[in-house]
Amino acid sequence: MPDTELEQAIKLAVAHLNKRIKEEQANISNLQSMLATKLPAKKYSEYVTELARSEGAINELHELKVFLSALAGTN
């Protein structure tokens, strides 16, 4: 049975969320690499703040993805 317009829209939204999650994961990897080097205290603090933001974003994106997937009846 073909998907309804709503189901198609939700699947597109979930695909977009998956892409954003991967982008944030890449950002985290990059930040972790930068934090492994010797940095001035101010830069270190900025990277730690950005790392926390990215981790929070991943959690929010994942929660939204789970909600939309449940709404569409997909995983």
pLDDT at 38: 80
pLDDT in tens, 36-59: 888 888 888 899 999 999 999 999
The pTM (predicted TM-score) of the whole model is: 0.76
Rounded CA gap, 15 and 71, in Å? 14
DSSP, res 31: H
Q: What is the CATH number of the domain that holds 37?
A: 1.10.287
Total structural domains within the chain: 1
Residue type, 56: G
Residues spanned by the domain of 35: 5-72
pLDDT in tens, 10-43: 889 999 999 999 999 999 999 999 888 888 888 8
